[in-house]
Structure 1
Amino acid sequence: MKPWVLGLTGGIGSGKSAVVEAFGQLGVHWVDADHAARWVVEPGKPALSLIAERFGEAVLASDGSLDRAALRERIFQDPAQRKWLEELLHPLIRQEVAGHLARATSPYAIMVSPLLVESGQYRQVDRVLVVDVPEAVQVERAVRRDLSSEAQIQAIIKAQASRAERLRHADDVLVNDRDLAWLKAGVERLHNFYMTLRGGQE
């Protein structure tokens, strides 16, 4: 039987990676849409040559890989270029993610995406789990991890879906405001529940 798909999301600093690793330790297959977004533009992949053709060699690093910062600069100011890039990459990322999920041998598989709600990817999954933390914790963690300023992190939080918007799409919420042992216990509880579900719904 094809595994059903759990979409996992949360704002910056919410601890998505710790959560998905805990699921992974329980034998659940997972794929990160952010990783897939990097795989589809690796050297030798058709998307990379199309991007270079459109934006010029300046968006390539000296080793032939994509210079993300240079590309970001080009599309940041220009909505039409950004739209072109999204139309090229989104279907490829979807395919890449679907390919990974199809190889899952666990009863359910997880797609991790920070933009699950914003990008509409939540429509491709059977159930949505939101890792939620109070904003103050989010900021403190992200500042520590990325060595960014508080203002930078606040700007990212503002650009992401609001916490309320994310929670509106959630079937399950895991509050991650304590330590790792607490988090793992929460993941185990959810995992045991998920193992009883058919197709991701009660």
Structure 2
Amino acid sequence: MKTEASTQSISPESAGRIIGLTGGIASGKSLATSLFAKLGIAIVDTDAISRELVEPGSTCLDKIRARFGNEILLEDGQLDRDRLRRRILDQPAERAALEAILHPAIRTRARERANAAAHHAPYVLVVVPLLAEDSVWPAYRDWLDAVITLTAPPALRRERLTTRPGIDASQAEQLIAAQVDDHARRSIADFELVNDRSPEVLHEQIIDLDARLRQPDSID
């Protein structure tokens, strides 16, 4: 295996770059993100931000409760994510209502964190699962310097999903169908990582891409 690039110095020309990472559900974003982090890359995870924004007592959770009712809360006041996911899965209007509450707040916090980290790492990776959605991409396009898409065959993604608690084959199919396809993700991407084999193979791809992204002329 190649030597990891985490010991490389930060190029003044590449520092400050903010790069989006997207991919469909179960494409391997968590694995890819952890591998980039091991190479010294700053990570801003919008899924983590979304969890922060719906903590009990938060403005976003209050808005979600007002829109969807108290039944989407657990007894301890936490958001019942499974119940909410099932509610919006096949109801576009409900999904749009949730996104209208969360997405602007997520985007604002993600941009603040990315800007803060941008000059202290080779580049910043902003992980946005739904980046290629028509309702999401326009708000990120102007401040991302490049986009990486992570792809995997739908059959493999379905298989991975059914290993997660509470997700059967039918739900896995719905979750994949609810998102745009890889063609849409490729249409906004500058780089592609293919996660259809072992973690070691993905690791090799990421090491190669990281070395490239550290070069001043890697992004036009």
Shift of 1:138: 2.0
Structure 1 or 2: larger helix share? 1
Secondary structure of the 1:103 match is helix
> How many residues are matched?
200
1:114 aligns with 2:132: no
C-alpha deviations, 1:9-44, integer Å up to 9, x for none?
A: 112221111111100000101122122111111123
Indicate the residue corresponding to 1:151 in structure 2: 170
Shift of 1:93: 0.8
Q: 1:159 to 1:40 in 2, by over 3 A?
A: same
Comparing 84-93 and 35-44, the one that deviates more: 84-93
Structure 1: gaps (5+ residues): none
Q: 1:152 to 1:46 in 2, by over 3 A?
A: closer
Secondary structure of the 2:174 match is helix
Normalised by the size of structure 1, how large is the TM-score?
0.84
Contact 2:44-2:125 at 8 Å conserved across structures: yes
Comparing 122-131 and 19-28, the one that deviates more: 122-131
Over the matched positions of the two proteins, sequence identity in percent amounts to 38
Secondary structure of the 1:90 match is helix
Shift of 1:69: 4.3
Contact 2:40-2:122 at 8 Å conserved across structures: no
Normalised by the size of structure 2, how large is the TM-score?
0.78
Q: 1:140 to 1:69 in 2, by over 3 A?
A: closer
Mapped partners of 2:197, 2:174: distance in 1: 25
Contact 2:150-2:195 at 8 Å conserved across structures: yes
Q: Which amino acid aligns with 1:21?
A: S
Mapped partners of 1:98, 1:191: distance in 2: 21
Structure 2: gaps (5+ residues): 1-11
- Root-mean-square deviation (Å): 2.6
Mapped partners of 1:155, 1:74: distance in 2: 12
Indicate the residue corresponding to 2:46 in structure 1: 33
